[in-house]
Amino acid sequence: MAEALIQHTERGLYCAAGDFYIDPTRGVDRAVITHAHSDHARGGSRRYLAVRTCVPLLRERLGARIAVEALEFGRPIHLNGVRLSLHPAGHILGSAQVRVEHRGAVWVVSGDYKTEPDATCESFEPVRCHTFITEATFGMPSYRWEPQAKLFEDINNWWRENQRRGRASVLFGYALGKAQRLLAGVDGSVGPIVLHPLAQRYVRAYELAGMRLPRTSHQRDRALVIAPPMPTWAPWLRKLGDASVAFASGWMLARGAAQRRGFDRGFALSDHVDWDGIIATVRATGAESVGVTHGSAATLVRWLRRNSWNAWPVEPGRRAQRTRADKTQMTLF
């Protein structure tokens, strides 16, 4: 049996032929990064490789002096005889799938991805391969997203209703990716939009990528406040007076999830692919073998095996060491 081109190790996914890691869990000599979220991009590596639009985000998170090589989508490079290229994953700005080819075998690592386009990142593109390693954060049949246009309509209506009642509107979303997507998707004519500084720090990277996000304000009257979900948010919220608090996350699709977490409303707007999207993507890749990582891996592996794929669970890496800014927010997104 031929040796796997990409293997799981205690430091993450490793390609021995090319001598590089994909989203390593600790510092390595060469790290290929799928995107800039803290559970995929960790500090301490000697050299990084990422898509060009991801590089400013990496420097913001890991430090301006990191050694990082920028690649354009679809443009291959060769590492020790292995052909490597990055392709749009549609998760957040600069998110990529990693295509690895060696001696006729083609593997693709999805990273985190979603298949519904949005205005704040490059749209997902399926990549043909023999072996596909997919995430399964929401890999259960119960997770099927509503169209984002419907979700943004619901958010706008909730905001208007709060204005009518004289209440502030606070919408929690992950500081990188989700907050900017919310900013771009809501209706700015409803009122001013306030963006928390932890999310504002990433806006420059979006501007460098040619994306124009709506202007934000410091005016809180009738405003929508977009902020990362922080464990210390209660005292901060009290400064706003009477406020309705909502959370934008795929986890909000579960019955009663918003109330259990102490939110008035939940909007199931996710930057991850849903069940139908995973199955459609696996089929579009043409892969015969599928590795499954994150979330509901066991459920998806069972379904794939029953439907004639060679599927197996990929063990997740160890928990990331977070930066100081990352530690101020929960990791629900």
282-307 per-position pLDDT tens digit:
999 999 999 999 988 999 999 999 99
Q: Is the pLDDT of residue 325 over 50?
A: no
Instruction: Give dist(CA 174, CA 144) in Å, integer.
Output: 20
Nearest to 223 by CA among 186, 254, 260, 277: 186
Which of 143-147, 205-209, 285-289, 322-326 comes out lowest in average pLDDT?
322-326
How far apart, in whole angstroms, are the C-alpha atoms of residue 246 and residue 181? 15
Phi, psi of 131 (to 5 degrees): -130, 130
Q: Name the pairing type of β-strands 82-88 and 96-102.
A: antiparallel
Maximum pairwise Cα distance, the chain? 67
Kindly state the helix (H) or strand (E) to which residue 281 belongs, with its residue range.
helix 275-285
Average pLDDT over residues 322-329: 36
The whole-number pLDDT of residue 1 equals 43
Cα 179-116-202 angle, rounded to 5 deg = 25
Range of lowest pLDDT (78-92, 265-279, 306-320): 306-320
Tell me the pLDDT band of 89, cut-offs 50, 70 and 90: very high
Integer Cα distance of 223 and 230 in angstroms: 19
Nearest Cα residue to 36 out of 130, 194, 161, 174: 174
Any idea of the CA torsion for 274, 277, 278, 281, to the nearest 10 degrees?
Answer: -160
pLDDT at 259: 85
The first and second tokens of residue 261, run together, are 């977490």
- Which residues does residue 88 pair with via DSSP β-bridges, in sequence order? 96
Place of tokens 């199955």: 279
CA angle 319, 331, 92 (to 5 degrees): 100
Q: Measuring CA to CA, how many Å separate 168 from each of 37, 43, 71, 244, 266?
A: 29, 38, 43, 6, 16
Residue 193 and residue 68: Cα distance in Å, rounded? Answer: 34
Reported confidence tier of residue 316, pLDDT bands at 50, 70, 90: low
Chain mean position to CA 121: 10
Q: What is the pLDDT of residue 16?
A: 98
Instruction: Tell me which amino acid residue 122 is.
Output: E
Over pLDDT 70: what percentage of the chain?
92
For the chain, the first-to-last Cα distance in angstroms comes to: 39
pLDDT greater than 70 at residue 327? no
Domains in the chain with CATH codes: 7-142+272-328 (3.60.15.10), 148-267 (3.40.50)
Highest mean pLDDT among 147-156, 241-250, 316-325 belongs to 147-156
Q: Mind listing the pLDDT tens digit for each residue in 148-183? A: 999 999 999 999 999 999 998 999 999 999 999 999
For residue 124, what pLDDT band results from cuts at 50, 70 and 90? very high
Query: pTM for the complete prediction?
Result: 0.92
Q: What is the CA radius of gyration of the chain?
A: 20
Is residue 315 pLDDT above 70, yes or no? yes
What's the pLDDT score for residue 326? 37
pLDDT, residue 198, reads 92
